Chain A
Amino acid sequence: MSTRLSSGGRLIDRTKALEFTFNGKRLRGFSGDTLASALLGADQMLLGRSFKYHRPRGLVAAGVEEPNALVNLGQGSRLEPNQRTTTTEVFDGLSATSQNHWPSLEFDIGALNGLVARFLPAGFYYKTFIHPRAAWKHLFEPLIRQSAGLGRAPVERDADRYEYFYAFCDVLVIGGGIAGLQAALVAGAAGARVLVLEQTAHWGGRAPVDGVQIDGRPADDWIRNAVEALERMENVTVRTRVTGAGVYDHGYVLADEKVADHTPGDGRPKHRLWRIRAGRIVTATGAIERPLAFAGNDVPGVMLASAVRDYVVNWAISPGDRTVVVTNNDDAYRTAIALKQAGLAVPAVIDARPEARGALPEAARAAGITVLTGTAVAGVKGRGRVSGVQLCPQAGEGGAVTQEIACEAVAMSGGWSPVVHLWSHCGGKLVWDEGAAMFRPDPARPPLGADGTGFVFAAGSANGALLADQVMGDATAAAEAALTAMGKQAGAPATPESHAEAEAPLLPVWIMPQGAGPDLRMKMWLDYQNDVKVSDVQLAAREGYESVEHTKRYTTLGMATDQGKLSNINGLATLSNALNLPIPEVGTTTFRPPYTPVTIGALAGEARGEIFQPLRRTPMHDWHAAHGVEWEPVGHWRRPFCYRQPGEATSAAVNREVLNTREKVGLLDASTLGKILVKGPDAGRFLDMLYTNMMSNLKPGRCRYGLMCSENGFLMDDGVVARIDEDSWLCHTTSGGADRIHAWMEDWLQCEWWDWKVYTANLTEQFAQIAVVGPKARAVLEKLGGMDVSAENFKFMEWQDGHLGGFAVRIFRISFSGELSYEIAVPAGQGRALWGALHDAGQEFGIAPYGTEALHIMRAEKGFVMIGDETDGTVTPQDLNLDWAISKKKEDFLGKRGQQRSYLSSPDRWKLVGLETLDGTVLPDGSYAAAEGVNANGQRNTQGRVTSTYWSPTLRKGIAMGLVRRGPERMGEVIDFPQPGGAVIKARIVDPVFYDKQGEKQNV
Chain B
Amino acid sequence: MSEPVSALGGAAYQGFCKVQEAGPVGMLTLRGNFASQVFVNAVKTSVGVAMPKVRAIVTEGDRSLAWMSPDEVLLILPHAELAAVRTRLTEALAGEHALVVDVSDARAVLTVSGAGAREVLAKLCPVDLAPDAFGPGEMRRTRAAQVAAAIWMSGEEEFTLIAFRSVAGYVMGLLTAAAAPGGEVGVFA
Q: Which residues of A contact B (CB under 8 A)?
A: 161, 163-168, 193, 237, 266-269, 272, 275, 277, 605-607, 610-611, 613-619, 636-637, 677, 679-681, 757, 759, 761, 763-767, 806-808, 827-830, 832-833
Interface residues of B in 136-189 (CB under 8 A from A): 145-147, 164-170, 173-174, 177-178, 180-183, 185, 187
Q: Are A679 and B123 in contact (CB-based, < 8 A)?
A: no
Complex CA gap A14/B148 in Å reads 52
B2 at the interface (CB under 8 A from A): yes
Q: Are B133 and A166 in contact (CB-based, < 8 A)?
A: no
**Given A237-B187, A611-B174: A606 and B145 interface contact (C-beta under 8 Å):** yes
Q: Are A767 and B181 in contact (CB-based, < 8 A)?
A: no
Complex CA gap A201/B41 in Å reads 60
**Given A163-B178, A193-B130, A757-B97: A829 and B5 interface contact (C-beta under 8 Å):** yes
* Chain A proximity of B73: nearest CB distance (Å): 12
Tell me the nearest residue of chain A to B32, going by C-beta.
Answer: A759
Tell me the nearest residue of chain A to B164, going by C-beta.
Answer: A765
Complex CA gap A859/B66 in Å reads 44
Tell me the nearest residue of chain B to A268, going by C-beta.
Answer: B182
Complex CA gap A679/B98 in Å reads 8
* Chain B proximity of A146: nearest CB distance (Å): 39
**Given A681-B97, A759-B99, A766-B102: A606 and B126 interface contact (C-beta under 8 Å):** no
Q: Are A680 and B105 in contact (CB-based, < 8 A)?
A: no
Cross-chain contact of A161 among B1, B24, B180 (Cβ < 8 A): B180
Q: Are B126 and A268 in contact (CB-based, < 8 A)?
A: no
Cross-chain contact of B123 among A166, A268, A763 (Cβ < 8 A): A166
B71 at the interface (CB under 8 A from A): yes
Some 8 contacts from A to B, beta carbons below 8 A apart, are A269-B182, A606-B174, A614-B146, A616-B164, A619-B7, A637-B166, A759-B32, A766-B103
Q: Are B185 and A165 in contact (CB-based, < 8 A)?
A: yes
Q: Are B97 and A680 in contact (CB-based, < 8 A)?
A: yes
Q: Which residues of the other chain, A, contact B183 by a CB distance below 8 angstroms?
A: 163, 268-269
B104 at the interface (CB under 8 A from A): yes
* Chain A proximity of B30: nearest CB distance (Å): 10
Interface residues of B in 82-129 (CB under 8 A from A): 97-99, 101-107, 119, 122-129
Q: Are A167 and B122 in contact (CB-based, < 8 A)?
A: yes
* Chain A proximity of B143: nearest CB distance (Å): 10
Q: Which residues of the other chain, B, contact A606 by a CB distance below 8 angstroms?
A: 123-124, 145, 174, 177-178
Complex CA gap A161/B147 in Å reads 20
* Chain B proximity of A927: nearest CB distance (Å): 36
Q: Which residues of the other chain, A, contact B130 by a CB distance below 8 angstroms?
A: 168, 193
Tell me the nearest residue of chain A to B130, going by C-beta.
Answer: A168
Q: Which residues of the other chain, B, contact A607 by a CB distance below 8 angstroms?
A: 145-146
* Chain A proximity of B26: nearest CB distance (Å): 11
B4 at the interface (CB under 8 A from A): yes
Q: Are A765 and B99 in contact (CB-based, < 8 A)?
A: no
Q: Are B178 and A827 in contact (CB-based, < 8 A)?
A: no
Q: Are B177 and A161 in contact (CB-based, < 8 A)?
A: yes
Q: Are A765 and B170 in contact (CB-based, < 8 A)?
A: no
B31 at the interface (CB under 8 A from A): yes
**Given A275-B126, A832-B5: A763 and B101 interface contact (C-beta under 8 Å):** yes
* Chain B proximity of A67: nearest CB distance (Å): 33
Tell me the nearest residue of chain B to A269, going by C-beta.
Answer: B183
Complex CA gap A764/B103 in Å reads 10
Q: Are B1 and A833 in contact (CB-based, < 8 A)?
A: yes
How many of chain B's residues touch chain A, expressed as a range? 35 or more
Q: Which residues of the other chain, B, contact A830 by a CB distance below 8 angstroms?
A: 1-2, 5, 105
**Given A606-B174, A765-B165: A272 and B107 interface contact (C-beta under 8 Å):** no
* Chain B proximity of A982: nearest CB distance (Å): 46
Q: Are B31 and A611 in contact (CB-based, < 8 A)?
A: no
* Chain A proximity of B184: nearest CB distance (Å): 9
Tell me the nearest residue of chain B to A761, going by C-beta.
Answer: B101
Q: Are A611 and B107 in contact (CB-based, < 8 A)?
A: no
Q: Are A829 and B167 in contact (CB-based, < 8 A)?
A: no
Complex CA gap A605/B178 in Å reads 10
Q: Which residues of the other chain, A, contact B104 by a CB distance below 8 angstroms?
A: 766, 827, 829
Q: Which residues of the other chain, B, contact A618 by a CB distance below 8 angstroms?
A: 166
Q: Are B182 and A266 in contact (CB-based, < 8 A)?
A: yes
Q: Which residues of the other chain, B, contact A761 by a CB distance below 8 angstroms?
A: 29, 31, 99, 101, 103
Please provide the 3 A-B residue pairs with the shortest distance between their CB atoms, ordered closest to farther.
A829-B5, A616-B166, A267-B182
Complex CA gap A231/B145 in Å reads 31
**Given A679-B99, A766-B103: A806 and B1 interface contact (C-beta under 8 Å):** yes
Q: Are A167 and B187 in contact (CB-based, < 8 A)?
A: yes
Q: Which residues of the other chain, A, contact B133 by a CB distance below 8 angstroms?
A: 168
Q: Which residues of the other chain, B, contact A763 by a CB distance below 8 angstroms?
A: 101, 103, 106
Q: Are A615 and B182 in contact (CB-based, < 8 A)?
A: no
> 11 more A-B contacts (CB under 8 A) besides A166-B122, A828-B106?
A163-B123, A166-B125, A237-B187, A606-B145, A611-B145, A614-B145, A614-B146, A636-B166, A765-B165, A827-B4, A832-B5
B6 at the interface (CB under 8 A from A): yes
* Chain B proximity of A963: nearest CB distance (Å): 34
* Chain B proximity of A435: nearest CB distance (Å): 42
Q: Are A615 and B170 in contact (CB-based, < 8 A)?
A: yes
Tell me the nearest residue of chain B to A161, going by C-beta.
Answer: B177
Q: Which residues of the other chain, A, contact B127 by a CB distance below 8 angstroms?
A: 166
* Chain A proximity of B84: nearest CB distance (Å): 16
Q: Which residues of the other chain, B, contact A829 by a CB distance below 8 angstroms?
A: 4-7, 24, 104-105
* Chain B proximity of A820: nearest CB distance (Å): 26
Q: Are B123 and A165 in contact (CB-based, < 8 A)?
A: yes
Q: Which residues of the other chain, A, contact B169 by a CB distance below 8 angstroms?
A: 615, 617
Tell me the nearest residue of chain A to B122, going by C-beta.
Answer: A166
Q: Are B1 and A807 in contact (CB-based, < 8 A)?
A: yes
Greatest chain B CB density within 10 A among A681, A757, A827 is at: A827
Greatest chain A CB density within 10 A among B107, B167, B181 is at: B167
Complex CA gap A644/B15 in Å reads 39
Tell me the nearest residue of chain A to B128, going by C-beta.
Answer: A168
Complex CA gap A267/B184 in Å reads 11
Q: Which residues of the other chain, B, contact A807 by a CB distance below 8 angstroms?
A: 1-2
Cross-chain contact of A808 among B2, B7, B99, B106 (Cβ < 8 A): B2
Cross-chain contact of A616 among B32, B103, B145, B167 (Cβ < 8 A): B167
* Chain B proximity of A488: nearest CB distance (Å): 15
* Chain B proximity of A854: nearest CB distance (Å): 23
Q: Which residues of the other chain, A, contact B107 by a CB distance below 8 angstroms?
A: 765
